[in-house]
Structure 1
Amino acid sequence: MEKTLTISIAAYNVQDTIERALDSLLDWRINDDIEIIVVDDGGQDESLSIAKRYAEEYPGIVIPIHKENGGYGSTINASLEKSTGKYFKQLDGDDWFLTENFVEFVEVLKKTEADCVISEVAEYHAGTGEQKENEVHKKISEGIHSFAKINFESVLTMHGTAIKTKILQDHNIRIIEKCFYSDTELVVLPMPYLETFYMFKKAVYVYFIGAEGQSMSLGGIEKHYPDHEKVYWELVEVYNMIPEENTNKRNIILMRLAKEAVFHIEFLCCLPISSTHKKELVEFGNRLKKDYPDVYEATRKRRRMVRILFDTKFLAYHLVARKTRAKYKNR
């Protein structure tokens, strides 16, 4: 029986948080409409055992999978192979959904035939205990819209998007495996095949910020920043696939590319100051300027520190790098 929604949970050593994630999804009003595929990505803790216990209590709803470690992208790929949901959405094992809003969200999925459903996203900051529901799509009304007719002013995120499973499967959308920062691909790679979206005006996903060892922490960046560049050029290739006359859809990806380029420049600037890291920074900026001038200009406009670097031909590297590294250390 086809479900309304498949939720893929990446569960790598998340024994302390996986129950919170699962409990936020399970509600008697929608249990028959969802399947939760919990992918234990070769973890060493009790995450799989916890998932199996939930599977016994919720048969056919919670589906545990154990596999060798292949990174975040492999958990998405494994879930897509087994997905029977009309729509597909991901959840990290240390994040959760807002249950009441999620129940409403599933009801929308049951009725709409949009290619994807976009929602707001909430953030929980571990340091302060503050939870904030963001409103980044204020100007777009609730309901179904065409990507060709709506000019997005905010970046689309995988945390805030559910996509028709058939589109992902029919076009063989696969995320890079054994690679960090690949989550962005889930919302960018299908973009050439998405024509319509439904705007759901409430937050569903809660993104947990501040966990030590996360890929956006200073330690994570120092270990994995080359992965970010690898993913980045994959996203650029998708941008090149969109016809120039489809300006709104190109703009959606352009905003994402500019945001990710700023991230990558920040990553390179928060690394220990060295001639090697400066060279990597210069090569990245020059490649953007030479091969993708529109992305270069959008990136330049997005952040003051990027303009300073670009406009000084990277002579300001040492100054910007010191400030950037200090900012990431104090997060």
Structure 2
Amino acid sequence: MKVLSISVAAYNVEKTLEKTLSSFDDPRIYDDLEVLIVDDGSKDNTGEIAKKYVRKAPNTFKYIPKKNGGHGSTINKGIELATGKYFKVVDGDDWVDTENLVSFIQKLKKQDSDLVLTNHTEVYPDHSRNINLIKNVESQKEYTWKDNIDIKRVVLHTLTVKTKLLRDNDVHITENCFYVDVEFVVWAAYVSHTITYFDLYLYMYSLGEANQSVAKKNMLKNVKMQEKVSYQLVKMYDHFVKEKNMLPNQEETIFNTFKRSIGSTMRTYLLMPTGTAKDKIKGFDNNIKNISLISYQRLNDDKFIRLIRRGNYSMIPLAKVMYRIWVIKYGY
């Protein structure tokens, strides 16, 4: 059995895939690493680039062509085919720090935690920024959700999870949709019991490119997909609460992850004209309430969402101004 399976979501990524795959290409980890290059119906040279690495190290790199089904479908296919003890997702326009990957795999050999968390680096065209979302957690020590740990939230870039855990719980991610990575990480946090953190900056997350799904113009274009994922997360959170088996720290981490996605959808609406933004946010929020009163009430604990809802959504013009200033200053 391989130690780690990495599922690479690859759709028309001929410009970036070489950098992605080369970051896994180290003979020191060939025996322990499986790289599943899931080609989601690409129309460019994505497949040819992938096959080059398969020819070079066929026991490590696997090329998996499939019909287009969206990011979630590549994750689902990766879960289905992975042979590694642990499973990680890397997008085809991102990469990893190779030396830290070598170190990471050596550490994984000694691990049996359900969830393994690392740090990540946001890489912009003109600068980079190290991100650490973990507090009060000692590196390489195993914890449970019962312990006094502070995991601000879980994101795709920080997460590695036992493959068997995903299969045993029939984890399936929404297909034909962007922004579904939040579903995957929320599921992973929910089905896990033990957690280990490695203080490694492993994942290199590329940001600031105009063609990315997280670019503002694309988020506006794809806002219906954000809505779809948001409603799915509302249903998931409602189900998890009703199951009554989440521990307080686990619930807080899942909520912090879940609320960020809901808030992101609302912020996309703020990019619209004021009247349209107000109507869209009110409709979206009312749908959340209709789907799950539990989720709706819990979301009121978020400062931004509480501000949006205040005075029958009368604060939306102010929120638009504040968000515009934020985007100009920070770019996201």
Scaled by the length of structure 1, the TM-score of the pair is 0.91
Q: Which amino acid aligns with 2:114?
A: D
Determine if the alignment matches structure 1 residue 281 to structure 2 residue 278. no
Give how far 1:162 is off: 0.5
- 1:279 Cα deviation (Å)? 1.9
2:154–2:257 Cα contact (<8 Å) kept: yes
Aligned counterparts of 1:52 and 1:168: Cα–Cα separation in 2: 28
Give the direction of change, closer, same or farther, for the CA distance of 1:38–1:237 in structure 2 (3 Å limit): same
Offset of residue 289 of structure 1: 6.2
Task: Name which of 224, 227, 230 aligns with 2:225.
Answer: 227
Q: Which position in structure 2 is the counterpart of 1:248? A: 249
What are the ranges of 5 or more consecutive residues in structure 1 without an aligned counterpart?
none
Give the structure-2-normalised TM-score.
0.91
Are the aligned partners of 2:135 and 2:149 in contact in 1 as well (CA < 8 Å)? no
**For the aligned residues, what is the CA RMSD?**
2.0
Deviations 1:128-179 (A, max 9, x none): 2x12222221421112110222342411111101010001112111111001
CA contact (8 A) 2:115 2:188 kept: no
Residue correspondence of structure 1 range 34-45 to structure 2 within 5 A: 34-45=33-44
Structure 2 counterpart of 1:297, from 300, 305, 308: 300
Structure 1 pair 48/278, CA: closer, same or farther in 2 (3 Å)? same
Match of 1:152 in 2: 150
Deviation at 1:67, TM superposition (A): 1.2
2:2 and 2:153 map into 1 onto residues whose CA distance is 29
Judge conservation of contact 1:8–1:38 (CA < 8 Å) in 2: yes
189, 199, 209: which is aligned to 2:187?
Answer: 189
Q: Distance in 2 between the 1:257 and 1:185 partners?
A: 9
Of residues 240-249 and 139-148 in structure 1, the stretch that sits farther from structure 2 once superposed is 240-249
Q: Secondary structure at the match of 1:100?
A: helix
Correspondence for 1:98: 97
Deviation at 1:280, TM superposition (A): 2.1
CA contact under 8 A between 1:282 and 1:314: conserved in structure 2? yes
**Which residue of 1 is the match for residue 138 of structure 2?**
141
Q: What is the SS of the residue equivalent to 2:109?
A: helix
- Aligned counterparts of 2:65 and 2:55: Cα–Cα separation in 1: 16
CA deviation vs aligned residue, 1:49-89 (integer Å, no higher than 9, x gap):
01001100111211111111111001111111111010000
Corresponding residue number in structure 1 for 2:208: 210
Give ranges in structure 2 of 5+ residues lacking alignment.
Answer: none
Identity %: 32
8 Å CA contact 2:14–2:49 kept in 1: the answer is: yes
Distance 1:245 1:70, change over 3 A: closer
Q: Is the CA contact 1:5–1:85 (under 8 Å) kept in the aligned structure 2?
A: yes
